[in-house]
Amino acid sequence: SFELTQPPSVSVSPGQTASITCSGDRLGNKYVSWYQQKSGQSPVLVIYQDGKRPSGIPERFSGSNSGNTATLTISGTQAMDEGDYYCQAWDSSTGVFGGGTKLTVL
Amino acid sequence: QVQLQESGPGLVKTSETLSLTCTVSGGSMSYYYWSWIRQPPGKGLEWLGHIYYSGSTNYNPSLKSRVTLSVDTSKNQIALNLTSVTAADTAVYYCARTREGYNWSTGSYWYFELWGRGALVSVSS
């Protein structure tokens, strides 16, 4: 079955660039979405169709997808960006989420 | 603005049916898909299925035989039924307004653009 693999954790210093990867077989042929979930809150869509930002999402969030790996990049990371990030894609009309990456800003 | 609110029993007995309702306020259900996604305590997200406002459905094969979604546009509600529950079904259940897009390589895809606050359901004997 199709699986998406994310690193369990990523740490970044404030103001630096954070990169969170998501790997899956031929993932570059699929569109990837990314969701941010802060502690105790519901997930929020931050990137869809690999690199598009919904209204209200800061420009520091960007995404790319090629080969077997999609990447969420947060430029100039702020303390408010701390939380769990999930990638998501579709395989044969079945929704699949990555296991999630805990982003720590320290 | 549009808001989604999940509601239903917070405790369900083992082997019984979990039933939740998602109520949409502040907007129309038309021309959207509506998804259910769950998250066991301390764990990741799992897509359960989605339903178009007209009633067509798509379920996660891992749960397909136990999950049923339905929609009532007159009440602005989407319902989730999950049968034969076990402790493994203990989770926060989210509903999400869902958009469809198209990928020339792989066909339709969807993304969850607006989420409800979630409802915690515990399964216990």
Residue B118 φ/ψ region, left for φ over 0, alpha for ψ in the -120 to 50 degree band, beta for the rest? left
Q: What is the pLDDT of residues A72-101, one digit of tens each?
A: 999 999 999 999 999 999 998 999 999 999
Q: Which two tokens stand for residue B92?
A: 């926060």
Contact call for residues A85 and A97 (beta carbons, < 8 A): no
Contact between A97 and B44 using a beta-carbon 8 Å cutoff: yes
CA B73 to chain CA centroid, Å, is 15
Query: Chain B residues with CB-CB distance to A under 8 A?
Result: 35, 44-47, 50, 58, 60-61, 94, 99, 101, 103, 105-118
**pLDDT of amino acid B105:** 80
Rounded Cα distance between A71 and A37, Å, is 17
Using DSSP, state whether B88 is helix, strand or coil: helix
Comparing CA positions, the residue from A98, A70, A68 lying closest to residue A6 is A98
DSSP-assigned letters across all residues of B17-79: -EEEEEEEESS--TT-EEEEEEE-TTS--EEEEEEETTS-EEE-TTTTTTEEEEEETTTTEEE
Mean pLDDT within B9-13: 97
Mutate: best of A1, A26, A53, A94, partner B, most B CBs <10 A: A94
**pLDDT, position B123:** 98
Burial class (CB in 10 A: 0-12, 13-18, 19+), A54: middle
Tens of pLDDT, residue by residue over B78-100, are: 999 999 999 999 999 999 999 99
User: DSSP per residue over B92-120, as a string?
Assistant: EEEEEEEEEEEETTTEEEEEEEEE---EE
Pick B108's closest partner by Cβ from A33, A86, A93: A93
Give the number of residues written for chain A: 106
Does the pLDDT at position A6 exceed 80? yes
Q: Over 80: is that where the pLDDT of B64 sits? A: no
Average pLDDT value for residue range B34-59: 97
